């Protein structure tokens, strides 16, 4: 396992989201010497975008970013990708670690950190990814005239952007995550609104109606957002 890695130009790609130039200057040559391809982002927004466009094998994320809460970055990424996220943070408090790990981070390394340990933890992350044979996720979803850019949270119909509210978007991405499958009323309500709402099926009717209105050509006879009477809803491709 611990074989020496020589520099190779097509190794795993890492997106490094880190605003401190000092750390970037330090990490960049180290990672490159280990054979990684590296893409740097200096803000959370940029980081999410880079992760969406480059589809890296690993994301290394500093929690202390200027523009955005680090936890928010994790959540944004986890909306559409399972890419391993290793958090770097100056805050070594237990509750920070717990919050980041529960938000979807895979590992947490407190600063100042030993670079050898970071590299070892990166190898662990790569091992996991290889094991589940997970390809880097495509950050866009498309069906018919509908296109969803999950990284940027934007939705287009026939190349015209349509605005979805937060709830509408969450409902749509939930359906996308399980595309093809029927999601029961319960599942949808729990995932989108939270467990306490598991019985408020009326919400579903209202919001499915709004989604159809915004996305379907003929909302009354939907082609993609289908009803399974008595069961739930499903998103179908073609």
Partner DNA sequence: CCACCGCGTCAAGAAACCGTCAAGAATCGG
Partner DNA sequence: CCGATTCTTGACGGTTTCTTGACGCGGTGG
Residues that bind its own copies (CB under 8 A): 1-3, 82, 94-95, 97-99, 101-107, 114, 116-117, 119-121, 123-124, 128, 131-133, 135, 151-153, 165-166, 180-182, 195, 228-231, 234
What is the spatial distance between Cα 18 and Cα 22, in angstroms, rounded to a whole number? 10
Interface region with DNA, contact rule CB under 7 A, candidates 1-9, 25-33, 59-67, 198-206: 198-206
The yes or no reply on residue 205 touching DNA (CB under 7 A) is yes
The yes or no reply on residue 212 touching DNA (CB under 7 A) is yes
The yes or no reply on residue 208 touching DNA (CB under 7 A) is yes
Interface region with DNA, contact rule CB under 7 A, candidates 14-22, 46-54, 152-160, 219-227: 219-227
Q: State the minimum distance, in angstroms, from the CB of residue 155 to its own copies.
A: 12
Q: Using an 8 Å Cβ cutoff, are 197 and 185 in contact?
A: no
Q: Using an 8 Å Cβ cutoff, are 16 and 40 in contact?
A: yes
Write out the H or E segment, with its range, that includes residue 51. helix 44-54
Q: State the minimum distance, in angstroms, from the CB of residue 230 to DNA.
A: 5
The yes or no reply on residue 181 touching DNA (CB under 7 A) is no
Task: Please select the residue that binds DNA; options are 60, 168, 172, 173, rule is CB under 7 A.
Answer: 168
Nearest to 89 by CA among 11, 17, 178, 8: 17
Outline where DSSP puts E strands in the chain. Answer: 13-17, 37-41, 58-62, 85-89, 107-110, 140-143, 146-149, 154-157, 160-162, 182-184, 225-228, 232-235
The residue whose two tokens read 């929690």 is: 63
Q: Which residues bind DNA (CB under 7 A)?
A: 163, 165-168, 185, 193, 200-206, 208-209, 212-213, 219-220, 227-231
């Amino acid at each position: 396992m611990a074989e020496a890695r020589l520099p190779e130009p097509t190794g795993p790609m890492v997106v490094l989201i880190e605003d401190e130039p000092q750390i970037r200057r330090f990490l960049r040559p180290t990672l490159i010497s280990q054979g990684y391809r590296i893409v740097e982002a200096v803000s959370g927004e940029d980081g999410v975008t880079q992760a969406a466009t480059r589809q890296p094998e690993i994301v290394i994320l500093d929690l202390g970013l200027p523009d955005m809460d680090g936890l928010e970055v994790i959540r944004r990424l986890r909306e559409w990708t399972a890419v391993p996220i290793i958090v770097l943070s100056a805050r070594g408090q237990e509750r920070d670690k717990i919050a980041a790990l529960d938000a979807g981070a895979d590992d947490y390394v407190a600063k100042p950190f030993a670079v050898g340990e970071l590299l070892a933890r990166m190898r662990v992350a790569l091992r996991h990814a290889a094991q589940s044979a997970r390809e880097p996720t495509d950050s866009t979803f498309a069906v018919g005239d509908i296109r969803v850019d999950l990284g940027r949270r934007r939705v287009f119909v026939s190349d015209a952007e349509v605005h979805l509210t937060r709830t509408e978007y969450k409902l749509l991405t939930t359906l996308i995550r399980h595309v093809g499958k029927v999601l029961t009323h319960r599942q949808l309500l729990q995932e989108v609104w939270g467990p306490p709402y598991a019985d408020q099926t009326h919400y579903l009717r209202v919001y499915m109606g709004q989604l159809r209105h915004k996305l379907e050509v003929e909302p009354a006879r939907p082609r993609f957002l289908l009803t399974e009477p008595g069961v739930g809803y499903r998103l179908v491709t073609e």
